[in-house]
Structure 1
Amino acid sequence: MADVVVISKSIVRPESYNEGSDRVKIHLTPWDLFFLRSEYPQRGLLYPKPDPETQIISRLKSSLSVALKIFYPFAGRLVKIENEDDKTASFYVDCDGSGVKFIYASAKTVSVSDILKPVNGTVPGFLTGFFPVNGVRSCEGLTESLIAFQVTELIDGVFIGFGYNHMIADGSSFWNFFNTWSEICLTGSNRKEFPPLVLRRWFLNGIDSPIRIPFSEIETPPSPIVDTSSLLQEKIFRFTSGNISELKAKANGEVNSDDRRISSLQAISAFMWRSIVKNSDLDSEEVIHCKLLMDMRRRLNPPLEKECFGNVVCFATATITVGEMVKNGLGWVGLQLNKTVGSKTNEDFRVFAENWVKKPIIPILPNRVAVSNSVIVASSPWFNVYGNDFGWGKPIAVRAGPGNVTEGKLIAYPGIEQGNIEIQTCLSSHVMEKLSNDVEFLKHACVV
């Protein structure tokens, strides 16, 4: 573990915040509450070292204050109401301007190359110390800031790590915020030049808010966290634009369907899923799952704006057996993912919510616990990751932090070269070793 020295901790509040009668209260939907027990997702960007004259901390904090004035829900806190009359609890977000955690740290023994070219291609464990809210769960947003940052100076670079409460925002909303923050820092733009935040104003008719959840469900202790970090490995696999075109053409060529086209991400996901299962020594009768986290904004009726702030994602889960996967080719597996994604309609979204409200269940999401029969594909290669220039250059790498890391977690990023896609992959060490030596797999992917 690298020596990370915390230089300062502070709270950054929205610029010119005035607490008043117009304070916004955001009620939470079933899809928000689904993440009540999940850890904050964490991501980080690696930057070149700025000029010594650049006052990066003061610049980052002042521009963050302006960005939080626009994206004010991040500066609020979660509120819990206990309803003794029916033994339930409710939650909402109070946009009270409490502010966000900002940590300034130093790791003078770590260089950029230690991150970009780690030993054996394995994501180095010391990166855990570069993130600000390790182990923090969404329900802790009662006292924890709903988004947090850590800026760590390296020998020859800077790493900006961040984590956010998934009940408040999804990846789309987070990257919209981050893109705005970096633009403000780069250009000095005043917040008046940016459009006002579009809040998710969608809720099911006939459902009272805030939603009431039985004490018994909330108070159910989570399963013990089994630290399998020594048994898990993370590597990043790169698919070039050429690799992607080949896999997409192969998948679509095998199914030869006129009414369905397997997308690039579906083809890559199918390829990764098949390759992982092939190297997992599972029985042919074993039931396996591939869960795709997908944005529902444009699928709702009426559709929400693409820029709508909030958490509007759901899991699309394809379920098959190992035998079916082995028997059929890449195209068939890609088609199962395609059909699963296509099934997530406005009606499906609403039915889930209506049923959930009748019997709320807060899932105990796996946390560093091996789940060998599932893969989860999160994030998106379409997010604007590499356009975030704060004034001393664009990012040179993106990495995921330890939040919500489980066996089978695949986190998709855009590659630094246009058209490429990179997948940060977490697997048990023995499966990762076999995958990393799979000649057929390495024809289409390479270790970063």
Structure 2
Amino acid sequence: MVESSMVKVLDTFRVLPPPPGSVPTVSLPLTYYDMPWLSCHNVQRLFFYEFPHPSLHFMETTLPMLKRSLSLTLQHFFPYAAHIMCPRSPDKPFIRYTEGDFVTFTVAESEEDFNHVVADYPRDVELLHPFVPQLPSEEVTEEGIRVLPILAFRVTVFPNSGICIGSTYCHAIGDGKSFMHFMRSWTSVCRSGATDGDLILENSLPMINKDVIKDPAGLELAYLKNYWHWVSSRGENSAPTKDIPVDKVRATFAFDQARIERLKQLVTTGDTEQSHISTFVVTCAFIWVSLIKSKVTPANNLSNNDDDDNKFYYFMFPSDCRNRLEFPVPSTYFGNCLKPCIVNVKKSELIGEDGIVLAAKAIGRTIKEAKRSGLEWAENPGSAIIERAITGRLTTIAGSPKLGVYDTDFGW
């Protein structure tokens, strides 16, 4: 993580589920939905809030409730305070919670201009990195078991202007729906000022039971083999690394309702397929086509030939499988339950006059198929993604509007 001279760490805490003994020592297996994420980068999210108060006010009034409400929430979402245990081959990785496990919670202060940090216009790609927490270093036991931390928070105060709550977590513990369930629970306890999280969360407790994920096709063995192949190719003590681009900018592009409606009309005009056309579909189509066109310049277009125009380009997005499988998985299930959906369209069609229309209809068809196809996607786990990724023609997105990230309200 890039540190900035304009960000100063004020304190670091360990937040545990209360009270001692409230959560017993427990081990949870990783399912075949969880294991593929062990080889992926950690998930990082930043939540920004206006907060027109000095740092001292935050430290004395807001911070104690943030820590207390987080502790109460972890009593029910205890896997986030646990560790992922990765034994040597051929044993299977699992989640292990032991009394005393905690979430690292860092408090910092920034001299950056809050309005500049949260602006939509392009800014240096490294600007946001100092607000992202680092997970504690992984450890290796005497038995050779790798012990992976799962979650860390970093709260950065911008005096008299704002707050950033940064999170980093291991995706193998759960998907975006599980994490946002946890965040909404934390915010509800914080807003209420409650001293007993049970009173607030009793109607929305996570279902922490891996037995609900069935394996009628015997997929777990295939995923476990993939995991051990990845470990052997990287070395057991190595973690995924990610180069930080130094010549990039980051920007936000906001679509208002009027633009969304125009895109929908463009796609649905003359549509005889009755395609699945939603805000998500037309936004993804617009982004995908725009990204591909942005790489087509007069210089490189002259060097391109018909072969490239006739090649398939790929777009991948996640689909939540809860309540869509052959076996019931409740919406409050804690863990990963995502299906990767991949769309294939030729480049010549995407950059053509009707590129957005064709992209939107292809994405819509893929969503419809995902709702019908059950577990068929996993018969050859990971291979479809890898094959497309190595072509350099795969665009992926993460998250979903249904996660309600922008509704994360601590009451400020």
TM-score over 0.5 for the alignment?
yes
2:356 to 309, 322, 330: 330
Alignment of 1:131-170 (within 5 A): 131-133=132-134, 142-155=146-159, 156-170=161-175
**Equivalent in the alignment of 2:369:** 343
Q: Give the root-mean-square deviation of aligned CA atoms.
A: 3.3
Change (3 A) 1:80 1:116: closer
Alignment of 1:226-265 (within 5 A): 227=243, 229-258=245-274, 260-265=275-280
**Equivalent in the alignment of 1:220:** 233
Give the letter aligned to residue 246 of structure 2. Answer: S
* Cα pair 2:316 2:343 within 8 Å, conserved: yes
Give the letter aligned to residue 340 of structure 1. Answer: T
Q: Greater helix percent: which structure?
A: 2
1:58 to 45, 60, 64: 64
**Equivalent in the alignment of 1:23:** 25
Give the Å deviation of 1:149. 0.3
**Equivalent in the alignment of 2:197:** 191
- SS at structure 2 position matched to 1:35: helix
Q: Which whole-Å deviations, capped at 9, do the CAs of 1:185-239 have from their partners, x for residues lacking one?
A: 1112322221332125212147497974474441212899573612333211000
**1-structure distance, mates of 2:207, 2:19:** 20
* Cα pair 1:183 1:388 within 8 Å, conserved: no
TM superposition score normalised by structure 1 = 0.75
1:117 to 116, 119, 122: 119
Give the Å deviation of 1:106. 1.3
Give the letter aligned to residue 333 of structure 1. Answer: A
Aligned residues: 376
TM superposition score normalised by structure 2 = 0.81
* Cα pair 2:310 2:347 within 8 Å, conserved: yes
Change (3 A) 1:363 1:334: closer
Bigger mean CA deviation after superposition, 333-342 or 218-227? 218-227
**Equivalent in the alignment of 2:102:** 99
Bigger mean CA deviation after superposition, 30-39 or 220-229? 220-229
Q: Which whole-Å deviations, capped at 9, do the CAs of 1:125-181 have from their partners, x for residues lacking one?
A: 2210100127989x9x95443111000111321111001111111111111110110
**2-structure distance, mates of 1:58, 1:347:** 48
- SS at structure 2 position matched to 1:36: helix
Give the Å deviation of 1:81. 2.4
- SS at structure 2 position matched to 1:161: strand
Give the Å deviation of 1:50. 5.5
- SS at structure 2 position matched to 1:390: coil
**Equivalent in the alignment of 1:311:** 336
**2-structure distance, mates of 1:225, 1:352:** 28
**1-structure distance, mates of 2:179, 2:349:** 38
Tell me if 1:284 matches 2:287: no
Give the letter aligned to residue 233 of structure 2. Answer: T
* Cα pair 1:17 1:69 within 8 Å, conserved: no
Percent of counterpart pairs with the same letter? 22
Q: Which whole-Å deviations, capped at 9, do the CAs of 1:358-399 have from their partners, x for residues lacking one?
A: xx8898899xx99852221211223233333324x1xxxxxx
Higher relative contact order (CA 8 A, sep 6+): 1
Give the letter aligned to residue 197 of structure 1. Answer: P
**Equivalent in the alignment of 1:375:** 395
* Cα pair 1:271 1:330 within 8 Å, conserved: yes
Change (3 A) 1:2 1:337: farther
Change (3 A) 1:294 1:355: same
Bigger mean CA deviation after superposition, 205-214 or 225-234? 205-214
